Every structure is written in C-alpha cells, then in structure tokens.
Chains A and B, each alone.
Chain A
Amino acid sequence: MGQVLVVTSGKGGVGKTTSTAALGAALARGGDKVVVIDFDVGLRNLDLVLGAERRVVFDLINVIHGVAKLQQALIRDKRLDNLCLLPASQTRDKEALTEEGVAEVITELRTKFDWIICDSPAGIERGATLAMRNADAAIIVTNPEVSSVRDSDRIIGLLDSKTVKAERGEQVEKHLLITRYHSARAARGEMLSIDDVLEILSIPLLGIIPESQEVLRASNLGSPVTLNNALSAPARAYFDAARRLKGEKLAMSVPSESRGILNKLFGRKAA
C-alpha cells in the first residue's frame, strides 16, 4: 500500500510545487513508484515544472467525473518511467473536485504506487483541505520568514483537525521542510535561523533546502532540480530529505554549492 503525502504551506510561493517535483523525482530515482498530483484547480503548474505541459490530455477532474480512466490521465515522465503526474484541471471550477471523488482516486493510486504526493494549492480553502484530506504524512514547506511561519502554524492546525486521520483520532505525521535558506544571512541575524523556526513550529525537521539559482534554472528547463543537476546543493538537500522520508537517519546539514573549475573560471554559474 502506497503512502500518501501532502506538500502544503498555507502561504504561496514558498516552494510547494518545486519541492513536490524534486522529492517525487528523488524517490523515483531510488526505484520507488511515484505519482505526483496537482490539486491547484484553475492554476496548475506542476506539469510545467516537470516539463510535461505539452502532453496533458486528461486531468484529475476528468477522472473524478468518469470522463477518463485513471490510467489514461496519468502522464509518465520522459526521464523516469516510474514517475507519473496526475494534472489538475485548468478550466473547470473548483467545486468539481469532490471529497468522495478524490478519496476514490487516492484509494486506487495506493494500490499502484509506493508514494502518492499531493501538491496542495496555497490558502486554506477547498483545494488545500482536499489535498490534505487523505494524507498519511504532511510536508510543511516553510521559508525562514515571519508570514510563512505563521501560515505554516495555521496549516498544522488544519492537519490536526480536517484530515481523515485526525477525525479517526490518529495523527498525520508532520515533517518540516525549510526552503530558500541562506546560511550566511541567518548567521548574521538577518534571517530567522533553523532553531528559531523549529522552536516556534515544534515539528520534526525533514530537510533544509538552501537558496540557489539551480532551482530557477531547473524550472526554466522543465526538469525537477534533483534530475536537472543532481549534484547541486538544493538537489543534494532534497535527496537527503527523500531518504529521511524512507526512514533513514541522516545528520542534518545545509549543503553548499561546490564551485567547479568552470565556475571558478567564469566567476559565476551559467544560469
């Protein structure tokens, strides 16, 4: 039976879609069968970050309405054939996403995949609550910045009340993923430190993704950062996070960009 993860944050623009793609690809690289689902109805973007935007035929709402079979709507990644995407609908309205419909799709996916990763939309509306509804575990993506931390706290509250697990009196396992972290600025006291964020949110840390131009470069090219440049600092941080998700105990570190000879020559990264 596959594990259902929700990647959520409350606040927009913190890196949910980037993290969904990067972790999905990292888990698939390790040999697991992975499906990533876009829950952002009307504003889908996971297809674009994965470079599959030209190949979308059917979407989640088509499957829920019975217009397409699940197997027809899944888009197989061109680089990794054990990584699939279930896109969100770009046109239909959000009401078309029903609680029962989503539950049915997730139940079917659990039998076919090891990991079902739900990319939540920003906010705390229907799309976000439906994305977390069936989750076994949640990845809360947070930037070391006041409004992001506050919104994450709000989302943690929802995970403890609005999910199937919470209603059964169980706990959704929670993991904190800090993104866009800048060690030097945190050291100078210009940015909240990891300890500050951990103390405020008090949930276990899954990983620290450093701020890096590799992330923009990967999204420009339509490739998860873990596939586009597996040796880059953010990719190494995502690979570590993926291993922690699988239960490995790894020392926490913030990978830094190692400057190769070409970069030293040009004085910057070709990004």
Chain B
Amino acid sequence: MSLFKFLRRGSAPVARERLQILLAHERCSSRGQTDLLGLLREEILAVISRHVSFEPEKVQIKMDRGKSVSTLAVDIEIPNGFGTAPA
C-alpha cells in the first residue's frame, strides 16, 4: 500500500476491529454462554485458597480479550511460611 493510501485510510478500520472483538465477547456473555475467562479465574482462586490463605488485596488479575486468543493472568502474593488453610 502506498504511503498516500495508508494516510488516507484513517482510523475507522481500527474502530471496526475493536468493536468486532468487543461485541463478540459481550454477545457470548449476554446469551448466557459461560464466560470461560471468568470461570477459570473463579476456579483458580478457589483451588489456591484451599491450600493457602491469602489476602484478597494481594491478588492481581489481568485479562486481555483478543480476536483469536485471550489471556488471563492471576498474580498472587503468597507469604512465606504460610500454614495450610483448614480443609
């Protein structure tokens, strides 16, 4: 593509792609389909809290919903010398 064409192409294609990705994710959840990222987040935290007691503030959760790939990052600060939480 020539530089001229690139400059003229403008910002609308970016807007279009952002909306397509966002709406694909939003439509899934509004149709009652499981939000996989949300489910994984809940279950990961549940499993960890069975073994370790951690402060909710020490958990950072990041998500990035992409077109073909989404990412989930769960960052938990676990204190040294923790005791196992009662089962």
Contact = CB atoms under 8 A, between A and B. Distances in A.
A57 B74 CA distance: 11
Nearest to B8: A270
A90 B35 CA distance: 14
Name the interface size band of chain A: 20 to 34
A91 B21 contact: no
A69 B11 contact: no
A220 B7 contact: no
Contacts of B57: 69, 71-72
B36 interface: no
A57 B15 contact: no
A262 B15 CA distance: 24
Contact of A72 (B8, B15, B61): B61
B26 A90 contact: yes
Contact of B22 (A54, A262, A266): A54
Contacts of A90: 26
Interface in A54-87: 54-58, 68-69, 71-72
A211 B63 CA distance: 35
A200 interface: no
Contact of A53 (B7, B8, B22, B30): B22
Interface in B53-80: 56-57, 59-66
Contact of B62 (A55, A68, A217, A220): A55
Given A69-B57, A221-B14, A54 B64 contact: yes
B65 A54 contact: yes
Nearest to A270: B7
A250 interface: no
A86 to B, nearest CB: 15
A254 interface: no
B14 A72 contact: no
A72 B77 CA distance: 13
A271 interface: yes
Nearest to B55: A69
B10 A217 contact: yes
Nearest to A70: B57
Contacts of A48: 18, 22
Contacts of A71: 57
A270 B8 CA distance: 5
Interface string B10-53: 11101100100110011001100000000001000000000000
A91 B11 contact: no
Nearest to B38: A57
Given A69-B56, A72-B57, A266-B7, 5 more contacts: A54-B21, A57-B61, A57-B63, A221-B11, A270-B8
29 contacts: A48-B18, A51-B18, A53-B18, A53-B22, A54-B63, A55-B62, A55-B63, A55-B64, A56-B63, A57-B41, A57-B61, A57-B62, A72-B57, A90-B26, A217-B10, A217-B11, A220-B10, A220-B11, A220-B14, A220-B15, A221-B11, A221-B14, A222-B14, A262-B7, A266-B4, A270-B8, A270-B9, A271-B10, A271-B11
